[in-house]
Structure 1
Amino acid sequence: MEYAAPPSSTYWLLYRDPLFSPATAQIISLLFGTTYVGVLYLSQRARASFTPPKGGGVKGTRDDPEIIRARLVAVSLATFACCVGIFVLLFARVGYDTHFLDTTFDATLLRLGLSPSFDSVRAHLVVPALFLGPLFASALSRELPLQRHWRWRAHVIDRFCSMQGVRNYALAPLTEEVVFRACVLAVWHMAGISRGAMIGFAPLTFGLAHIHHGLETFHRYGRTAAAAKRAIFTSLFQLAYTTIFGQLASFLFLRTGSILPPVSAHIFCNIMGVPDPAWELQRHPRHRVAIYTAYALGIAAFSMTLWRWTATADNMYWPDDTALRMLRY
């Protein structure tokens, strides 16, 4: 096979005809998602009990520190395996020639958004701008850092330095974004799927990966008809929320070509939780107008910055006019 670009350039690996069909890409992305979730149940040490322990506590549940450790090891290995899968897909395209090892490795890093870029720094501020309303409500409650009701141990040590904190605010966001954003979108891009479809439909894999939490809800609340309804509602809500967030994270990834903005957005959303303006208005009834205004300003700031602050030069997923002209020749 002959290539026009020199081996030192990675563009010939990045902007070629589709490597496989969209159907194949969807199968591979589902395989990635199944691998990530499946490892949580393959190992006895990582498998959590759905039934709450007698006498309370977290022993044997998904919040058991021992189970968290085993799961973090399992999903880290699964994430590495998915990244290796991207390398193999690219390497198989050019043939098993050691001459292309370094170039394929560089192309893999680019496709996974692991090549450092300082152009995407502002993209990390887009999601915090959206949360201006909840942040303002926290300020009214004096719960922001260095305010009256903020405590170093309670708000930092106990929350972030526990095994639950490491899972919720470090390894889970990182591994999930690498698998469900970088690896899945890389595969869809290799199949020539449009950016609109990647943003709109690829995150469904991420949403479906959270469905298994419904079993935990069903068992936790007694395995009754009421528990089943609660589990279904919880699963549907989580599917919708994670899919919508996945669409935003997919846009950040494709727009910046970096996995870091989606990871920081994921961590920030985990810290803030789902906004609850009704609860905030109940806590601060005298500041209703101010809270409404803060929410409106947050939405406006998000809308104004989402496109501008995510623009990144030399981005293979969202090439500018110069890159597109280079591609034609």
Structure 2
Amino acid sequence: MQHAITIVNKMATSMNLVRFDCTGVFRACFSCILLAAAYVGSLYLWRSGLPRDHPVTIKQRIVSVLAVSMMCPFALFFIAEDATESQGYSMWQYLGLRREAIIPAAVLPLLVTMILFLGPLYMTYLDYWNESDTVCQGKKFRVTPSTVHILWLRNYIVAPFTEEFVFRACMLPLLTPCLGTTSSIFICPLFFGVAHIHHVSEKLRFRKRGDESIWLPAIFQFFYTSIFGAYSAFLFIRTGHLIGPFLSHAFCNIMGFPELEMIPQYPPNQRAIIWTLLVLGLVMCVALLAPVTNPDYYESLFYVDQQLVKV
């Protein structure tokens, strides 16, 4: 009880500094597994029997993931060590919730992410002006007006923020001291990718007779969420801010996975432009990503000699 009170007192003041030392790779990874299990498990605390896009289910799960996100920093305090001013930071700095260089940390990663989506953005532009009902039908979701706002809140605010907070901000301070920055960028997303496999259980519950196409999309989702997770972890470590990964995640949720299968439905000249922009966006994103996220621009505390020390 006394230890819990001490943790609350630490959380209440930003003057208390902590640091994360490597206590073993297994312990760091196991702690991340527990955080991921808490996040995913909270989604199934409610036994409503309704599908995930039902308004009641959405509201219940929003409450759950917000509660888990609020508890995760307390869990980190059990692992963190007290530190002096020359050795550590406040917990909020480790979590990427800080003011230093916040404007470039918000704008530049988002711009690079938008460049990656030059092709899909052009497709969206064409669909808007052509008012086409045949193109991008896959992105349409039939909902009543009463559910639009709650879907928007989940998909573009709550889900990207809580996922970035738990799977990046709370996990990377645990992994980086043991694994270094490079390995952490590639290992941290695995917890994020595996966490999305839970969608299979719901699809099995609500699948229609004869629908066997469940596992292949789930495997595909694991791979592309893991790739995005590595991208987001890179942004978080390089900038030391949560806002860049959050905005990039929200933007990617808005755009969805590029619907390459829809490209043949466009006229030949538009198809050529789309493919050109797809390639150009990828090349430009890769070329700009490292210089735009130079840690020196953001006073990042993660990216010096692969240690959690001040820049």
Same fold judged by TM-score > 0.5? yes
Indicate yes or no: 2:303 matched with 1:318. Answer: yes
CA contact (8 A) 2:39 2:65 kept: yes
Distance 1:313 1:267, change over 3 A: closer
SS at match of 1:234: helix
For residue 164 of structure 1, what is the aligned residue in structure 2? 151
Instruction: Give the Cα separation in 2 of the matches to 1:291 and 1:281.
Output: 10
Query: In 1, Cα distance between the equivalents of 2:42 and 2:60?
Result: 10
Aligned position for 2:195: 209
Q: 1:307 aligns with which of 290, 293, 296?
A: 290
- Any idea what SS the aligned residue of 1:63 has? coil
Tell me which amino acid in the other structure corresponds to 2:292.
W
- Assess, with a 3 A threshold, how the Cα gap between structure 1 residues 313 and 61 changes in structure 2: closer, same or farther: closer
TM value normalised by structure 1? 0.77
For 1:176, give the aligned amino acid: E
Name the CA distance, whole Å, in 2 between partners of 1:300 and 1:134.
15
- Structure 1 residue 178, shift from structure 2 partner: 0.1
Where has structure 1 moved over 4 Å in runs of 4 or more?
Answer: 157-161
Q: What residue number does 2:123 align with?
A: 137
The CA deviation string for residues 63-99 of structure 1, in whole angstroms up to 9 with x for no partner, is 1112211110111000111122123322xx239xxxx
Q: 1:110 aligns with which of 69, 93, 111?
A: 93
Alpha-carbon shift at residue 181 of structure 1 (Å): 0.7
Residue number in structure 2 paired with 1:30 = 33
Shift of 1:231: 1.8
Residue segments in structure 1 that go unaligned for 5+ positions in a row: 1-7, 50-59
1:232 CA drift (Å): 1.3
Q: Is the 8 A contact 1:281 1:287 kept in 2?
A: no
TM-score by length of 2: 0.81
Residue 178 in 1 paired to residue 165 in 2?
yes
Q: Which has the larger radius of gyration?
A: 1
* Shift, 1:158, TM fit: 5.7
Other-structure match for 1:4: none
Distance 2:202 2:146 in 1: 23
Letter of the structure 2 residue corresponding to residue 315 of structure 1: S
**Distance across 2 between alignment mates of 1:313 and 1:170:** 24
2:229 matched to which residue of 1? Answer: 246
1:194-205 paired onto structure 2 within 5 Å:
194-205=180-191
Q: 1:278 aligns with which of 261, 269, 272?
A: 261
Mapped partners of 1:310, 1:208: distance in 2: 27
Structure 2 unaligned regions, length at least 5:
1-13, 133-139
Q: CA deviation at 1:264?
A: 0.8
Structure 1 residue aligned with 2:6: none
Change (3 A) 1:70 1:160: closer
Identity across the alignment (%): 32
What is the alpha-carbon distance in structure 2 between the residues aligned to residue 309 and residue 316 of structure 1? 17
